[in-house]
Amino acid sequence: MSVSHINDDEFEQNVINADGPVLVDFWAEWCGPCKQIAPALEELSAEYDGKLSIIKINIDENPESPTTYGVRSIPTMMIFQDGQAAATKVGAAPKSDIKSWIDESL
Find the catalytic residue in 6, 22, 23, 34: 34
pLDDT confidence bin for 2, thresholds 50/70/90: confident
Determine contact, residues 83/52, Cβ cutoff 8 Å: no
Tally the domains of the chain: 1
Q: Is 86 a catalytic residue?
A: no
Find the catalytic residue in 15, 31, 55, 77: 31
In a domain, 105, yes or no: no
**CATH number of the domain bearing residue 27:** 3.40.30.10
- pLDDT digits 0-9 by tens, 61-87: 999 999 999 999 999 999 999 999 999
**pTM higher than 0.95, yes or no?**
yes
- pLDDT digits 0-9 by tens, 48-63: 999 999 999 999 999 9
Which residue range forms the structural domain that includes residue 17? 4-99
Q: Is 34 a catalytic residue?
A: yes
